[in-house]
Amino acid sequence: MVPGTYVQLDVMPINSNGKLDTSKLTNHKGINLREKVEYVAPRNEIEQKLAEICEELLQRDRVGVNENFFTLGVNSLKAIQFTSRISKEFDVKVNFVTLFGNPTIEKMAVEIETSLWVNNDLFLEDDDDSEIENISI
């Protein structure tokens, strides 16, 4: 719990709600005040779509696959929007437990890929008429 960096500011950036605007603390004089994670670009289609969703919701230029959603600014409202967008884009159901357990694009992509693989009709038994729809992850 010891800070890695100290930066003296003349004024703390405040948002319209009177709270600290952490988005303006992101890069102060070349120092990243957020979690120090090296940027890794999306490596496949699932990661690319997740990055696009995250960038749009958080209004960021780029989001690396190893950056934590919650460190980037996902709050409860954005978490609802994020899970909803993932569900629509990939036709899978994503709940908060999954989101909190897989808080990076890389981890969420693995969960989605696993769900899509399990939901594939090739792996369902033919002698049973039941179908699996939108497996919840």
Q: Which long-range contacts does 123-130 make (Cβ < 8 Å, 24+ apart)?
A: none
**116 and 55, same structural domain?**
yes
Model confidence over 73-90: pLDDT tens digits? 898 899 999 999 999 999
pLDDT beyond 80 at 133 = no
Residue 135 lies in a domain: no
99 and 49 both lie in a single domain: yes
CB–CB of 5/31 below 8 Å?
A: yes
47: pLDDT strictly greater than 70: yes
pLDDT tens for residues 114-128? 888 776 655 455 555
Please, what is the average pLDDT of the chain?
A: 81
Say yes or no: 26 and 52 in one domain. Answer: no
Domain, as residue range, for 84: 45-123
pTM summary value: 0.64
- Whether residues 26 and 53 share a domain: the answer is no
SS (H, E, C) the chain: CCCCCCCCCCCCCECCCCCECHHHHCEECCEECCCCCCCCCCCCHHHHHHHHHHHHHHCCCCCCCCCCHHHHCCCHHHHHHHHHHHHHHHCCECCHHHHHHCCCHHHHHHHHHHHHHHCCHHHCCCCCCCCCCCCEC
Least Cα distance to 6 among 35, 38, 31 occurs for 31
Sequence-separated contacts (24+) of 119-127 with Cβ below 8 Å: 119/92
